[in-house]
Amino acid sequence: MPVSLTPNAITAINDGDVNLKPLLQVLEIKMIGRSQERSQERYRFLISDGVSAQHAMVAVQLNDRVKSGQVEKGSIVQLIDYICSDVKGRKLIVVLNMETIVPHSETIGNPTIFGETDTEAQKPLSAVGNIPPPNRVVFNEPTAQHSVNRAPPRGVNIQNPANSTPSFRPSVQPSYQPPASYRNHGPIMKNEAPARVIPIAALNPYQGRWAIKARVTAKGDIRRYNNAKGDGKVYSFDLLDSDGGEIRVTCFNAVADRFYDVTEVGKVYLISKGSLKPAQKNYNHLKNEWEIFLESTSTVELCPDEDGSIPRQQFSFRPISDIENAENNTILDVIGVVTSVNPSVPILRKNGMETHRRILNLKDESGKAVEVTLWGEFCNRDGRQLEEMVDSAFHPVLAIKAGKVSDFSGKSVGTISSTQLFINPDFPEAHKLRTWFDHGGKDTASFSISRDTMPGGVSRNEIRKSVSQIKEEGLGRSDKPDWITVKATISFIKTDSFCYTACPLMIGDKQCNKKVTRSGTNRWLCDRCNQESDECDYRYLLQVQIQDHTGLTWITAFQETGEEIMGCPAKKLYALKYELEKEEEFAEIVRDRLFHQYMLKLKIKEESYGDEQRVKMTVVKVDKMNYTSESKYMLDLLVR
Amino acid sequence: MDTSSPSVFVNGALMRRYVGQKVRTVIQVIGSDIGSVVGKSTDDLQIVVRGSSPTPPLTTYLEVIGIAESDNAIRAETWTNFGNSFGTHNYNELCKLANGEFKHLFI
């Protein structure tokens, strides 16, 4: 069947035409491998107009067309929505929407790769690539009638390849539009026209200018951090657009200050300019391989006239029975009826900070139930509300957006910072569940996919080991540190050096605590703060020998745990030993701390000092023996 | 250790097995009279302990060693205050194990 490709289409596209809707042939399809393992794959085409050929990136939402074979090598396609951007002097076409016209065809003509054009000369022309969106009437009167901002629903006129080719020709737009009103500004002029609104799914780092219209679905708090480069703050928010595309936006420092108050959850914004970087999959669960970093030139404008075409939230609820087979750390949405809520309990985090935890049970129509762990703020805010409801014999529906699956004991779902909870939400899934629960679901037994708490009141994520097991099992040798609990007695405490001089200055809301050195007369210099202070703090750095019935080992205790072990602040001990020189009294205190039994939570990690590998054991929590719970623990070992 | 006169760990229910023999148990004191103390065993049964009770005050929990007179009464020889907090569940389990699976370990 004779199909003619649109002549000179490649040149026209490179000159900035986005309305041509040309017929082009796909000569090559290549999957672009991504370094990040979880990122989405992307396809690159080599497209030809019969004379010239050029590479084109294909927006990820079109990946299915390639996978399903709708587009393959040789296919003739009509580009419906596309842009051409300038990346490091090279033109790159990005295909946002296309239709297959002829599934298979021999190569037409003898195309050659489109050469490097004189990019300088092209500049004013390429600007047309970013046609203003139609709602910006001021700028685009001349172009309004052929705007392609919203491409017609796919395949308006072309679905049947058997249809003779000319039938869709009328839809083809004039091949080239001169630049709009700003052409008077001279040949080399920055393009001041607003960027074109594109779907979030079409965003990629190769576009120079873009704009997206999206609703803020979640917004994080401003977080302060401190790293090698110094202090800073960061916050991020999540966007959802009318095509269901989602992406996270991150702002640092001044940019964060500028946009934090502007962005409000639930509102729709027009966002433009900013760089795209690979998404940090550890923190970012959104279905997008990119993340937007806003810059000082970025704009975030409220769209007051939003029409509700963008959903408030996008859920993809998974039945609880699915969670049973979900991998650890999977982020997913789940909805269920809350059957019980436990009280909030304080928990010591691995980094030594205290937080709160509250466990509740959720069940759904799949006949399974799961434990949901609320952390930190969720415990108080939403947790209390849920607890009150359940206490008054009402079982609310709870929708969890972005909960994290944990496989520690059975499967459970926990909150992360970007999790959102919706109590008795007003959407169909919730109403369906409510109906199910009220009409029998309440009384059906659900099998819990979470294991019940370990007996003996022992915290469930406590791994009990004996001292000799640490060595025998090679703890700390894997990538991650091992966290274990030993029941042991302190048999020796090193006293020649038990503390260090610490920087008392505050960094943000935390004390610096880095080691300070004496400078001049009684001044203390901190390398990190690069400041001197009159006084220094004394913090424990304590070497302690512990033993149980299997053996003995050395552990290190820092400030908080050190104070727990010694029973008094390091400063007091230091003064006693070095300033008051009361050696006897000092020795007495130390002696008094020996031969007490504790439950010690240890962090074990092998570290290298030069060529030497040493297993480092740090106490993160010291608990006095609770004989009742320990007896119960041992009893349970006996009867198990 | 004096093994000449062993005493068996019992809770309320196990008493009947050892009537006439020497037992030891821990009770939660409910009330005391002259010459006797009424208490609750770790398995929630009432036990009367006779004999010259120690000088008050009694703590909440009390260990007594003596002869089981019946399935709910003991003539006590030794009284020990066990304080105001005690893991009754654990003690009860201990009694069961000491008279069951691990009887051979106890004299």
- Give the ipTM of the model, two decimals please: 0.86
Mean pLDDT of A182-208: 70
Mean pLDDT of A460-487: 86
Type of residue found at A368: K
Categorize the per-residue pLDDT at A139 as very low, low, confident or very high, splitting at 50, 70 and 90.
very low
Residue A499 · residue A573 · CB < 8 Å? yes
> Of B85, B86, B90, which has the smallest distance from its Cβ to A632's Cβ?
B90
> Of B90, B94, B97, which has the smallest distance from its Cβ to A628's Cβ?
B90
Chain B hits for A635, Cβ within 8 Å: 90, 93-94, 97
Asked if residue A312 belongs to a domain, the reply is no
Conformation bin of residue A440: beta by default, left when phi > 0, alpha when psi is -120 to 50: left
- Count CB atoms within 10 A of the CB of residue A627: 12
Residue-level pLDDT at A126:
41
Which of A458, A627, A630, A631 to substitute to test the interface with B, most B CBs within 10 Å? A631
In chain B, residues 49-88 whose CB comes closer than 8 Å to chain A: 85-87
Is the CB of residue A87 less than 8 Å away from at least one CB of chain B? no
Residue A572 · residue A551 · CB < 8 Å? no
Residue-level pLDDT at A566:
94
Distance CA A518, CA A504 (A): 14
Mean pLDDT of A69-79: 86
Asked if residue A125 belongs to a domain, the reply is no
A254 and A385 part of one domain: no
Is B90 close to A631, i.e. CB distance below 8 A? Answer: yes
Categorize the per-residue pLDDT at A123 as very low, low, confident or very high, splitting at 50, 70 and 90.
very low
Strands A499-502 and A90-102: unpaired
A475 and A610 part of one domain: yes
pTM over 0.80, yes/no: no
A471 and A586 part of one domain: yes
Model confidence at A79: pLDDT above 90: no
A439 and A550 part of one domain: no
Model confidence at A168: pLDDT above 60: no
Distance CA A33, CA A411 (A): 33
Number of domains comprising chain A: 4
Model confidence at A282: pLDDT above 80: no
Categorize the per-residue pLDDT at A120 as very low, low, confident or very high, splitting at 50, 70 and 90.
very low
Distance CA A94, CA A103 (A): 21
A486 and A631 part of one domain: yes
**What are phi and psi for residue A413, nearest 5 degrees?**
-120, 130
A625 and A483 part of one domain: yes
A256 and A343 part of one domain: no
pLDDT in tens, B21-30: 999 999 999 9
Token pair for A220: 């994080």
Mean pLDDT of A246-256: 91
Mean pLDDT of A230-247: 89
**Domain-terminating residue out of A113, A145, A167:** A113
Comparing alpha-carbon positions, the chain B residue that sits nearest to A630 is B90
Is A632 close to B87, i.e. CB distance below 8 A? Answer: yes
Residue-level pLDDT at B61:
93
Comparing alpha-carbon positions, the chain A residue that sits nearest to B102 is A638
Token pair for B66: 């003596």
Distance CA A348, CA A355 (A): 6
Residue-level pLDDT at A553:
95
A55 and A106 part of one domain: yes
A337 and A394 part of one domain: yes
Is the CB of residue B6 less than 8 Å away from at least one CB of chain A? no
Model confidence at A325: pLDDT above 90: no
pLDDT in tens, A517-570: 888 777 888 888 888 888 889 999 999 999 999 999 999 999 999 999 999 999
pLDDT in tens, A379-402: 888 899 999 999 888 999 999 998
Burial class (CB within 10 angstroms; exposed 0-12, middle 13-18, buried 19+) of A147: middle
Is A627 close to B97, i.e. CB distance below 8 A? Answer: no
Distance CA A259, CA A272 (A): 13
Helix (H) or strand (E) holding B80: strand B73-81
Residue-level pLDDT at A291:
92
Is B87 close to A628, i.e. CB distance below 8 A? Answer: yes
Burial class (CB within 10 angstroms; exposed 0-12, middle 13-18, buried 19+) of A229: exposed
Residue-level pLDDT at B65:
94
Categorize the per-residue pLDDT at A478 as very low, low, confident or very high, splitting at 50, 70 and 90.
confident
CA distances, A568 to each of A39, A290, A561, A586, B8 (Å) = 52, 51, 11, 11, 44
Nearest alpha carbon to residue A538 among A493, A596, A579, A593: A579
Prior bond to B57 cis, omega within 30? Answer: yes
Is B97 close to A638, i.e. CB distance below 8 A? Answer: yes
Token pair for A71: 């587009």
Burial class (CB within 10 angstroms; exposed 0-12, middle 13-18, buried 19+) of A604: buried
> How would you label B20-35 residue by residue, b for 16+ Cβ within 10 Å and e otherwise?
eeebbbbbbbeebeee
Residue-level pLDDT at B36:
86
Mean pLDDT of A405-434: 87
A486 and A596 part of one domain: yes
pLDDT in tens, A7-66: 888 888 888 777 788 888 888 888 876 555 555 678 888 888 888 888 888 888 888 888
- Average pLDDT score, chain A: 80
**Domain-terminating residue out of A78, A113, A148:** A113
Type of residue found at A269: Y
Counting residues of chain A whose pLDDT is more than 90, the rounded percentage is 25
Residue-level pLDDT at A194:
65
A25 and A109 part of one domain: yes
- Count CB atoms within 10 A of the CB of residue A292: 26
Among A127-141, A238-252, A448-462, A620-634, name the one with the lowest average pLDDT.
A127-141
CATH number for the domain that contains residue A18? 2.40.50.140
Three-state secondary-structure class, residue B23: strand
Residue-level pLDDT at A38:
52
Nearest alpha carbon to residue A292 among A206, A231, A205, A208: A205
More confident residue, A159 or A332: A332
**Domain-terminating residue out of A302, A325, A344:** A302
Cα Rg, chain B, nearest whole Å: 13
Is the CB of residue A625 less than 8 Å away from at least one CB of chain B? no
A408 and A471 part of one domain: no
B8-97: CATH, from 1.10.238.10, 1.10.287.130, 3.90.226.10, 2.40.50.140: 2.40.50.140
Burial class (CB within 10 angstroms; exposed 0-12, middle 13-18, buried 19+) of A599: buried
- Average pLDDT score, chain B: 89
Counting residues of chain B whose pLDDT is more than 70, the rounded percentage is 96
CB pairs under 8 A between A and B: 16
- Quote the domain boundaries for residue A68: 9-113
Distance CA A359, CA A16 (A): 57
pLDDT in tens, B25-71: 999 999 888 888 999 999 999 999 998 777 778 889 999 999 999 99
Residue A321 · residue A342 · CB < 8 Å? no
Mean pLDDT of A427-433: 90
